[in-house]
Structure 1
Amino acid sequence: MRVLVTGHQGYLGTVMVPMLQTAGHDVTGLDTGFFADCVLGTWPTDPPGLQVDLRDVTVEHLQGFDAVVHLAALSNDPLGALAPQITFDINHLASVRLARVAKEAGVRRFLYASTCSVYGAAGDGLVGEDAPLRPLTPYAESKVRVEDDVAAIADDSFSPVFLRNATAFGFSPRLRVDIVLNNLVAHAVLTGDVRVLSDGTPWRPLVHARDIAAAFRTALEAPIDKIHCVAYNVGSEANNLTVADIAESVVDAVPGAKLLITGETGADPRSYRVDFSRFRAALGFNAEWSVSDGAAELYKEYTAAGLQSDDFAKKFTRLARLESLQERGALDGSMRWTDRGE
């Protein structure tokens, strides 16, 4: 298939594109380039790509594609809390507009990267795709709105699928350290401490970036009737862990690391365990990476590439990176490049 991947220069896109290419798909990227040079280790080889703000995509950009894989977003809760309106403008309005433009351009498949955080405070029971959605942050709320609005335009010619990814982990050349396992391993490598600021009790479902990429490939290649306007949770029940459990896996992976649960931020209301059986039953998908394996991989890659504290703080943390671009005048207040941009 001819596939357009938005956010191809991001954390997930950098892992996903080579997997889709290896499977024989003709991939083109579309990215605004905020994180294109946020690389640790070997520089990735990008596909042919368009540097276009998601808010500016036109029908002409999307003509000739069989599928759109939509990964691009302003990611994570701290950024959404700092700039909720921009988060909604990009993550919600621009995403729905992208789907409408894709449909107008004749794109048949639309794969949307949603999130398990749409379940919010779900307690200790396993939640499936039909559970009530209780988003607690602007980021999660934007995902719910996109699912609703894109589902409303599905028809015989346009088939969206909503892949609700668990919290991602694992190494990508375009690294992120503002997600829980990646963050804890990085802190351990740089300081010797595995520092948990909450009380460690919230449940989190986790999934490796490569398993997310494999899930998208599975959905991309599935029969239309298996993916038409369906939501699938992406992850595995084995990786439903408390934050304290996740931290213990880091202690095991990083020699000499010590666990510190400070509890200074108190109990986190975002706590949910997720049922991933629908995707497994419908399409035979099984996530392969355990959290322990991911912690070991991250330790190996961080030490091999020489992760530095300054890069941790500024280059691989989404909020800090965007604030840095704004401070030097490369981005304006609406998160658009200026004439001083890159």
Structure 2
Amino acid sequence: MKILVTGHLGYIGSVLTPMLLERGHAVTGLDSDIFRACTFVGALAYTPTIEKDIRDIEPGDIAGFDAIIHLAGLSNDPLGDYRPHLTEEINCNASVRLAQIAKAAGVKRFLYASSCSNYGAAGDSFLAEDASFNPVTPYGVSKANVERAVSPMADETFSPTFLRASTAYGLSPRIRFDLVVNNLTAWAYTTGLVYLKSDGSPWRPIVHVEDIALAYIAVLEADRDLVHNQAFNVGLTTENYQIREIAALVQAIVPGSRVEFALDAGPDKRCYRVDCSYIGRRLHGFKPQWTARRGIEQLYDTFQAASLTLEDFEGERFKRIAHVQKLIRDGELDGDLRRRPLLAMAV
């Protein structure tokens, strides 16, 4: 298939793109690449790239594609909270506009990177795909609103699918250290402390980034009637943990580490458990490969090999919000997170 992957240079995209290429798909990427200085380990797969902000997509950019995998957006809560109007503009308005342009251009399939954060403050019950949305952050609100807007566009010519990923973790060339498993493992390796900024009580489903990529491939290659206008919780039902359980796993794997709570640690409003059985019943090609223990071991081994330091993952290079703020201070991005034209031409 001829596929456009937006955000192909991000945390998930840099894992998914080479997997698509290995399966023989023709992939074009679209990414403003504001995190180009943030590659951690490994190399990015080469693919034709449209370097453009998702807000600036034109019909000519997407004509001729069989499918769009839409990953691009502001991808964590601190970045989403930074300027909430930009989260709405980039994550919601630009995504809905992209779907509208794709439908008009004859793109048959539209795979959207939604999130289990749609469920937000939901308590201890297991949630299937028909559960109510209750997002508590601008990021979660944006994801829920895109689903509400794009789903009614579905018809015989345009087939959207919504992949509600559990909280991601695991190794990627463009790793995110703000994600709970990655973050706790990095703290443990660099300081000896499994450092919890909440009281550890909230529930959270987790899924390895490679398994998220496998879910996109399974949806992309499935018969249309299996995925048409469907939403899928992505992960394994057995991989729901309280944050303190993840911390205990990290402590058991990283030698000499111990759990410590921040002085202001309190409950986190984001608390949800998800039932991921539907995707497995519907798509027999989706077979998750990772567990939290294996993922933490992978991260620990990589952090050792890379000699990761606290400054690396808490500093301006790899911390998303800090990196964006640095680019603004340095004049490489404007206040709307657009790359300044003269500098964009110079790099």
Q: Report deviation, 1:262.
A: 3.6
- In the other structure, the counterpart of 1:294 is 295
- In the other structure, the counterpart of 2:308 is 307
The CA deviation string for residues 217-269 of structure 1, in whole angstroms up to 9 with x for no partner, is 00000111111111000001121000001111111221111111346231111
- In the other structure, the counterpart of 1:240 is 240
- In the other structure, the counterpart of 2:113 is 113
- In the other structure, the counterpart of 1:24 is 24
Aligned residue type for 2:300: Y
The CA deviation string for residues 156-204 of structure 1, in whole angstroms up to 9 with x for no partner, is 1000000000000000011110110001111111111101121111000
- In the other structure, the counterpart of 2:343 is 340
Q: Distance in 1 between matches of 2:46 and 2:9?
A: 7
The CA deviation string for residues 28-60 of structure 1, in whole angstroms up to 9 with x for no partner, is 100001112311122222311110100111111
Q: Distance in 1 between matches of 2:49 and 2:312?
A: 26
Contact 1:167/1:205, CA 8 A, preserved across alignment? yes
Contact 2:67/2:107, CA 8 A, preserved across alignment? yes
Q: Distance in 2 between matches of 1:41 and 1:278?
A: 34
- Regions of 4+ moved over 6 Å: none
How many aligned positions are there?
342
- In the other structure, the counterpart of 2:198 is 198
Aligned residue type for 1:327: R
Q: Distance in 1 between matches of 2:142 and 2:6?
A: 17
Q: Secondary structure at the match of 2:125?
A: strand
Matched, 1:326 2:328: yes
Q: Distance in 2 between matches of 1:173 and 1:32?
A: 17
Contact 1:200/1:263, CA 8 A, preserved across alignment? no
TM-score normalised according to structure 1 size: 0.98
Aligned residue type for 1:243: I
Aligned residue type for 2:343: R
Q: Distance in 2 between matches of 1:16 and 1:50?
A: 17
Q: Distance in 1 between matches of 2:256 and 2:74?
A: 35
- In the other structure, the counterpart of 1:276 is 276
TM-score normalised according to structure 2 size: 0.96
Q: Secondary structure at the match of 1:261?
A: strand
Aligned residue type for 1:329: G
CA RMSD, aligned part only? 1.1
Contact 2:17/2:45, CA 8 A, preserved across alignment? no
- In the other structure, the counterpart of 1:259 is 259
- In the other structure, the counterpart of 1:179 is 179
